[in-house]
Amino acid sequence: MKPTHIEHLGIAVKSLELAIAYYENVLGLTCYAVEEVPEQKVRTAFFKVGQTKIELLESTDPEGPVGKFIEKKGEGVHHIAFAVEGLQSKLDLAAERGVLLIDKQPRKGAEGLNIAFLHPKSTFGVLTELCENPNK
């Protein structure tokens, strides 16, 4: 699959405002965007760290994926996102190799990226996102 880099780490938090204050005031990063993704039932906040980003995720619905995650496991690292080129072919390759796909085809994610998730039961417990920038 050869990801080019880690696009972002997704971190589930109960309060975006409180978590943003920590990342800005303690780590010294700058939140450059806050975006709601209604299909995913989350509000997100982004920080750049070199080529990688931190994506904070606050649930907008207790029945959404992040709401359920926090209810079960509490706040913490929620997923890792790898940047790939040729997303559909990489998904097909993963499926051929026995990986359970949450998304068989790419869909739109935050920041205009095309994204797809691999199921954590197939990826050693780590929810894995593949993303591709359609403008590159």
Q: Which of 68, 80, 99, 122 binds ligand CMX (CB under 6 A)?
A: 68
C-alpha 68/C-alpha 70 separation (Å) is 6
Task: Give the DSSP H or E segment for 88.
Answer: helix 87-96
Distance, first Cα to last Cα, the chain: 18
Contact between 3 and ligand CMX per CB under 6 A: no
Residues in the chain, total: 136
Contact between 84 and ligand CMX per CB under 6 A: no
Contact between 37 and ligand CMX per CB under 6 A: yes
> Which residue's entry shows tokens 């995913």?
40
By beta-carbon proximity to ligand CMX, the closer residue of 40 and 114 is 40
Beta bridge partners of 52: 49
Contact between 72 and ligand CMX per CB under 6 A: yes
Contact 15, 25 (CB under 8 A): no
By beta-carbon proximity to ligand CMX, the closer residue of 10 and 106 is 10
- With CB atoms as reference, the residue minimizing the distance to ligand CMX is 65
By beta-carbon proximity to ligand CMX, the closer residue of 25 and 124 is 124
